[in-house]
Amino acid sequence: MDATTGTAPPRAAAAARLAGPLRPLWPFLLLLAIGLAMPLTGNEYWGLITTRMAIYWVLVAGLNLIVGYAGQLAIGYVALLAIGAYTTSVLAAGNVLPPLPAFAALGVAGLAGAVFGVVVGLPALRLRTFYFAMTTLGFATIVTQITLAWQDVTGGGIGIAGPMLPAPFDTTWGFLYFCLGFAAICTWLTANIARSRFGRALVAVRDAEVAAEASGIHKPKLLVLVFILAGALAAMAGGLFATLQTYITPDAFTFDLSLLFFIAVLIGGRGSILGPLLGTAILTVLPEIAAPLAAWSTFLYAALLLVIVLAMPGGIAALIDPRNRRNLPENRVIGPQPAALDALLGRREVPAPLTLRGIVLAFGGVRAIDGVDLEVTPGQVHGLIGPNGSGKTTTLNVISGYYRPEAGSMAIGPAPLPAGKPQGRAGLRIARTFQTPRLIGEASVLENVMIGGTTDGRTGFAEALLALPRQRQEEREFEARARLALEAVGLAGLAEARADRLQHSELRFMEIARALMLRPAFLLLDEPAAGLSTEEIRRLGALIRGISRHGTGVLLVEHHADLIFDICDQVTVLNLGKVLAAGTPAEIRVHKEVVSAYLGA
Amino acid sequence: MPISAPERSLLEVRGLEAGYGKIAVLHGVELGIGAGEVVALLGPNGAGKTTLLRALSGLLPVTAGSVTFDGQALTNASPRDAARAGMVHVIEGHRVFTQISVADNLELAGYDLPRGERAARIEEALAFFPEIAAKRRDRGGALSGGQQQMLAVAQGLVRRPKLLMLDEPSAGLSPVLLDRVLGVVRELCAKGTSVLLVEQLIEKTLAVSHRVYAMAQGRIVLAADAKEEDLPHRLERAYFGEDVPTALHA
Amino acid sequence: MLASIIASGLAVGAVYALIGITYNTMFATSRVMSFTAGQLGMLGGVFGSLFTLRLGLPILPALVLTLACCALIGVVTEIVAVRPVLKSLDQHLYVLTTLAVALLIQHMTAMEWSTEPQPFPRLLDLGSGIWDEKYWLPVAVCILTILGLEYLYRRTLVGRAFVAIAEDNFAARALGLPERNLRIASYALAGAIGALAGFAGGQLLLAFFANGPLLNFYGFIPVALGGLGNNRGAVIGGFLLGLFQQAANFLVGGIFSSVAVFTLFIIVLLAAPQGMFGAQAARRV
């Protein structure tokens, strides 16, 4: 028997999701309790190790957003630790300016970290992965060299005393409690970001950059915000590190330390908070348990890194994530609920049509599209068909801004539609799907769909950081809208499932749900029926019809001729980049040239 | 309906399934090619023709089913093994190597062959295409699209294949080129080489073919003799579904 | 002074260029940038010192053994860190796997060889002053290597198969080229080239485990400047970098010269991410 997936989700699941990356909360509380209970052991050495763990975590918590969430391979973060440590120490010692109180120095270090966090991060906006990894590595090297060379300020190789915090934080246990408290706050802050639209956008940039752009996510702005946060946290961790060490020299900031931070995130697992936290704890403690491990710690870290990447790409997080074990029902059926479209799309004022005039685009001398005219009318389904290489998907990519045409114009009603600028399309309510579904495999289906609404977010980064009421309200609205969209496409029962566990056909419908999140005025569908069964194609057809009847103009690129002739109001046929014919399905169906172009007769 | 069975079977494909990642494209493809036979493989875009060719030649992993070639099991063989066994795949899009010369492109096609043998085979392949034989010192990138396609076909010929699989040799190029390629197909056929031809230009293709397979949505939906009277109508029905009035019916 | 800046600049530039070629050789057949490139250079020096000074072998057998060892390490890299992640190249997992292997190599060397720079023998005992072999030997080796590679790529079938795979891996496979064997061969070749860099530059850089990350970075700059996979670009970039670095060394002192190099590197990269002679980015949609 079929298990219908169109039923409403249980309330408990919805509540659990809102706890986001801190769910379940008890492991975090347990770790904190262990830390707080340390003085009971009376063992100051382990107190110091716990303090160091907390300090490392302050840095890793921020780095986690960059490496684990945004997928940027920043391997030289020890540089920011050093910057923070030296800034705090130098300011507190007063060998350049009048001495500052330790907390003020720590605050200034945070600011310096924010600035340098952006400096280190900027190349990521332009460079590919390996290049970026190299630049962070180079940055780490030169920071160490500067600390050595700038003797007047940093004390060079001799070093400088770390700042002393005022009472009651000037004892081993007082300092431990301070660091634990600070680490707890950092956990909370980064978890807030992780579960906000910013966190989802970071993951989208990592796993589905093109879809992220189409959803209106502005990658540079997003990354800069996160670089600021991570840089500030790392530098403040550096200040605390200097206090812990009591005396710092450039030798304290080895590349091995950088590696520890980086690998802690990867061992922990991407897109998790608890995983990297455990990773940090394990990597900090491991060399302390057995003396031989200390000498070989880097070797161990590297071996762990290799094993994790090759054998356990999900890291610790994958082991502890219950979504991996829960079985999805077999024989599930995608049952779109057109009724949900009423609630989702509602009555909207009908926008003006989307028009293309004389679009020309060539790749390396070959004209992929050669003077295409097209008009997508709101409330109608417009089919775009033609043989392979006739320019269908290219036309779609011109509309959604990925390609700049060499000639021709686009407009929505009287307003010209600027060429290029794919991130701007979501703001104009132009949504799209892709030939190959672009998804975030590690995120839930619900989160994947919520990506589509990013551009409607009104609350800022700071509000998300502190999880202020307005931001939480907005999140609830996003979630409700995403659940409606999932209901509309018939995937409501799979909202909590990890997206990479879905079948191919379900991913196609999930992409449509993501596009519907935008309440689109225009919806561009790129071969949505590819790989679907006959029954699924029929339901897809009904869904597309339903969407268009709520006022959305749909442009449908498709190979399945029966689907095109079934649901389209207008059909344009492309051949060799030119419009071969345009008209109603009935006209096209009997168009001699079309039949021969299509059949190749 | 009886279809004239080939004299001696060269390629036997049974229940073949293949795809890209999660996307299953081929659903139980059944197909056979006889020695010395020219077979056209037709079908609309996205039907799975290219995928089928790639699965046969080992460029794409096969998830189920079997491929038997010349009495040898070739399911999931590497492209190299397939080529050595005599099944050569000329991929779509005239993808020759642009940085090296025409002659070097052909040398690489005979990578495994002994040096003397290779030179002889290259001359043999070039004999089919005098226009590129004249440009053997030029870089592959200096050729026109049509010449690159001829070079790609010539690369396939260097192996002296038992079965040559051509994927859309005319795509994006002038129809005149197809005539040249089909001329070669005729010559090869006369010498006993089998050809599996994927093409959009149906009429010309059918003229050189013995038999036709049509694919839609990852399945073989039609197997027929190329000279059959009713073929265009049957093809159209196979693509567009059974009961719609059509231009050809009207 | 100028003469010695030029001599040492060209010498270190040649070593950087060779490491750049090592990157390129691996990249060509696999589209992978490997962090092991600099480590291979480091090992060239360490193995050279090991075989000659510690084990007392004559220069030539020591060189052959060094090349063989590094070629083997190249092959191991391919098997352990490259092949398993080639299927999902777009996830860039190779950055992590090759980093891991590079660190394993580096740390193993530190623990089993020495954490202090060890001496490297004079090889030919020719020249003195700015004409000392330690300056011209790397340059000569670099020139010979590039000539050898040009011969390989232009005159031999295997070399043209490398070129073909670099240009269009799929078409090369379809043609029946033994793509996997050729990739392994190119990693072995890269290992040998890296070893040559370390061996020829041994008298300048010594046998020191920490040379690995340094060569990784300074060898990468010529690649970034010259464009991925462009050996001639890497040679030009390498010599320019070497001269710039040595001039900055002389003018502003060793530590700030690294800052100068790094700053210049970032500026050039941001201005021309594809390098000065680079190719265009691939289509994304």
Shortest distance between the Cα of C155 and any Cα of chain B, in A, equals 10
C37, C40, C41, C44 alpha-carbon torsion, rounded to 10°:
-170
- In whole numbers, what is the pLDDT of chain C averaged over residues? 90
- In this prediction, residue B240 carries a pLDDT of 63
Which residues, other chains included, contact C159 with Cβ-Cβ below 8 Å and sequence gap of 6+? Answer: C149, C151, C152, C153
Q: Domains in chain A, start-ordered, CATH in brackets?
A: 43-254 (no CATH), 338-599 (3.40.50.300)
- In this prediction, residue A21 carries a pLDDT of 67
DSSP codes, B163-199: EEEEE-TTTTS-HHHHHHHHHHHHHHHHTT-EEEEE-
What pLDDT band is residue A18 in, cutting at 50, 70 and 90? very low
Q: How far apart are CA A466 and CA A89, in angstroms?
A: 29
For residue range A220-239, list pLDDT tens digits in order.
999 999 999 999 999 999 99
What pLDDT band is residue B151 in, cutting at 50, 70 and 90? very high
For residue range B46-79, list pLDDT tens digits in order.
788 999 999 999 999 999 999 999 999 999 999 9
Query: Residue C168 class from Cβ within 10 Å (0-12 exposed, 13-18 middle, 19+ buried)?
Result: middle
Flag whether residue A218 sits within 8 Å of chain B, measured between CB atoms.
Answer: no
Chain C hits for A122, Cβ within 8 Å: 270
Count of residues making up chain B: 250
Flag whether residue C176 sits within 8 Å of chain B, measured between CB atoms.
Answer: yes
Q: Which of B44, B172, B203 sits opposite A598 (nearest CB)?
A: B44
Spatial contact of B79 and C176, defined as CB atoms under 8 Å apart: yes
Is 50 exceeded by the pLDDT of residue B1?
A: no
- In whole numbers, what is the pLDDT of chain A averaged over residues? 88
Is 60 exceeded by the pLDDT of residue A164?
A: yes
Mean pLDDT throughout C75-104? 91
Instruction: Specify the higher pLDDT residue, A18 or C109.
Output: C109
Axis-axis angle for helices C59-77, C179-200 (nearest 10): 140
Shortest distance between the Cα of C27 and any Cα of chain A, in A, equals 12
The interface predicted TM-score (ipTM) is: 0.89
For residue range B85-144, list pLDDT tens digits in order.
999 999 998 899 998 999 999 999 999 899 899 999 999 999 999 989 999 999 998 988
Query: Residue B64 class from Cβ within 10 Å (0-12 exposed, 13-18 middle, 19+ buried)?
Result: middle
For residue range A80-127, list pLDDT tens digits in order.
999 999 999 999 998 888 889 999 999 999 999 999 999 988 888 878
Spatial contact of A81 and A257, defined as CB atoms under 8 Å apart: yes
Is 90 exceeded by the pLDDT of residue C137?
A: yes
Q: How far apart are CA A281 and CA A292, in angstroms?
A: 19
Report the DSSP pairing between strands B194-198 and B23-34.
unpaired
Domain contains B203: yes
> What three-state secondary structure class fits A403?
coil
Q: Domains in chain C, start-ordered, CATH in brackets?
A: 2-271 (1.10.3470)
HSE-up (13 A, CA, CB side) for residue B250: 11
Is 50 exceeded by the pLDDT of residue B248?
A: no
What pLDDT band is residue B247 in, cutting at 50, 70 and 90? very low
What pLDDT band is residue A156 in, cutting at 50, 70 and 90? confident
Q: What percent of chain A has pLDDT over 90?
A: 55
Domain contains B137: no
Chain C hits for B158, Cβ within 8 Å: none
Q: How far apart are CA B199 and CA B111, in angstroms?
A: 28
Is 90 exceeded by the pLDDT of residue B237?
A: no
Chain A residues 234-293 with a CB less than 8 Å from chain C: 255, 259, 266
**Given strand B72-73, what is the order of strands in its sheet?**
B23-34, B9-20, B62-69, B72-73
Q: How many of the other CB atoms lie within 10 Å of CB of C131? A: 11
What pLDDT band is residue B241 in, cutting at 50, 70 and 90? low
Is 50 exceeded by the pLDDT of residue C230?
A: yes
> What pTM was computed for the model?
0.87
Chain C hits for B80, Cβ within 8 Å: 173, 176-178
> What residue of A is the nearest CA neighbor of B201?
A600
Q: How far apart are CA A547 and CA A554, in angstroms?
A: 8
Chain B residues 54-73 with a CB less than 8 Å from chain C: 57, 59
Partners for C (CB, 8 Å, 3+ pairs)?
A, B
Number of domains present in the structure of chain B: 1
- In this prediction, residue A97 carries a pLDDT of 84
Domain that holds residue B182: 9-91+160-240
> What residue of A is the nearest CA neighbor of B24?
A531
Report CB contact under 8 Å: A134, C217: yes
Distances (CA, A) of A262 to A76, A255, A296, B239: 8, 11, 17, 54
Q: How far apart are CA B231 and CA C86, in angstroms?
A: 45
- In this prediction, residue A20 carries a pLDDT of 61
Spatial contact of B9 and B180, defined as CB atoms under 8 Å apart: no
> What residue of C is the nearest CA neighbor of A394?
C285
CATH code for the domain in which residue B46 is found:
3.40.50.300
Which of A203, A309, A400, A425 is the mutation pick for testing C, counting most C CBs within 10 A? A309
Chain A hits for B236, Cβ within 8 Å: 595, 599
> What residue of C is the nearest CA neighbor of A123?
C270
- In this prediction, residue A561 carries a pLDDT of 79
The pair of three-digit structure tokens given for residue A252, joined into one six-digit string: 């304290």
Report CB contact under 8 Å: A601, B240: no
What pLDDT band is residue C277 in, cutting at 50, 70 and 90? low
Report CB contact under 8 Å: B83, C175: yes
Domain contains B27: yes
Mean pLDDT throughout C176-192? 95
Chain B hits for A527, Cβ within 8 Å: 46
> What residue of C is the nearest CA neighbor of B157?
C175
Beta bridge partners of C236: none
Q: Which of A75, A128, A303 sits opposite C104 (nearest CB)?
A: A303
What pLDDT band is residue C254 in, cutting at 50, 70 and 90? low
Cβ-Cβ contacts under 8 Å between A and B: the total is: 66
Please report the sign of the dihedral spanned by the C-alpha atoms of residue C217, residue C218, residue C221, residue C226: negative
Domain contains B154: no
- CA nearest to A499, candidates A92, A148, A211: A211
Q: What percent of chain B has pLDDT over 70?
A: 92
Q: Which of A504, A559, A592 sits opposite B247 (nearest CB)?
A: A592
For residue range A384-402, list pLDDT tens digits in order.
988 777 888 899 999 999 9
Q: What are phi and psi of C21, to 5 degrees?
A: -65, -35
Domain contains B149: no
- A310-324, B31-45, C34-48, C102-116, range with the lowest pLDDT: A310-324
What pLDDT band is residue A323 in, cutting at 50, 70 and 90? low
Which of A67, A127, A132, A142 is the mutation pick for testing C, counting most C CBs within 10 A? A142
Chain A residues 416-455 with a CB less than 8 Å from chain C: 434
What pLDDT band is residue C281 in, cutting at 50, 70 and 90? very low
Report CB contact under 8 Å: A389, B172: yes
Mean pLDDT throughout A139-154? 86
Flag whether residue B240 sits within 8 Å of chain A, measured between CB atoms.
Answer: yes
Chain A hits for B250, Cβ within 8 Å: 590
Is 70 exceeded by the pLDDT of residue C190?
A: yes
- In this prediction, residue C253 carries a pLDDT of 75
The pair of three-digit structure tokens given for residue C66, joined into one six-digit string: 């060094």
Domain contains B178: yes
What pLDDT band is residue A187 in, cutting at 50, 70 and 90? very high
Instruction: Specify the higher pLDDT residue, A429 or B203.
Output: A429
Is 90 exceeded by the pLDDT of residue C151?
A: yes
Is 90 exceeded by the pLDDT of residue A381?
A: yes
Is 90 exceeded by the pLDDT of residue C242?
A: yes
> What residue of C is the nearest CA neighbor of A156?
C255
Mean pLDDT throughout B195-224? 89
Strands of C114-204 (E only): list them. none
Is 80 exceeded by the pLDDT of residue A294?
A: no
- In this prediction, residue A324 carries a pLDDT of 63
Q: Identity (one letter) of the amino acid at A383? A: G
Alpha helices in A19-128 (DSSP H): 26-41, 44-64, 78-93, 102-121
Which residues, other chains included, contact C7 with Cβ-Cβ below 8 Å and sequence gap of 6+? Answer: C130, C131, C132, C135, C136
Q: Which of C85, C107, C269 sits opposite A131 (nearest CB)?
A: C269
What pLDDT band is residue C278 in, cutting at 50, 70 and 90? low
Looking up tokens 């590349």 gives A255
Cβ-Cβ contacts under 8 Å between B and C: the total is: 60
Instruction: Specify the higher pLDDT residue, A64 or A154.
Output: A64
Instruction: Specify the higher pLDDT residue, A353 or A288.
Output: A353
Domain contains B247: no
Which of B17, B23, B26, B63 is the mutation pick for testing A, counting most A CBs within 10 A? B23
Shortest distance between the Cα of B201 and any Cα of chain A, in A, equals 5
Q: How far apart are CA A39 and CA A247, in angstroms?
A: 24
Mean pLDDT throughout A545-571? 91
> What three-state secondary structure class fits C49?
helix
Instruction: Specify the higher pLDDT residue, A513 or C272.
Output: A513
Is 80 exceeded by the pLDDT of residue C282?
A: no
Is 60 exceeded by the pLDDT of residue A8?
A: no
- In whole numbers, what is the pLDDT of chain B averaged over residues? 87
Is 70 exceeded by the pLDDT of residue C241?
A: yes
Chain C residues 155-174 with a CB less than 8 Å from chain B: 157, 160-161, 163-164, 167-168, 170-174
Mean pLDDT throughout A47-67? 96
Chain C hits for B91, Cβ within 8 Å: 170-171, 174
Domain contains B129: no
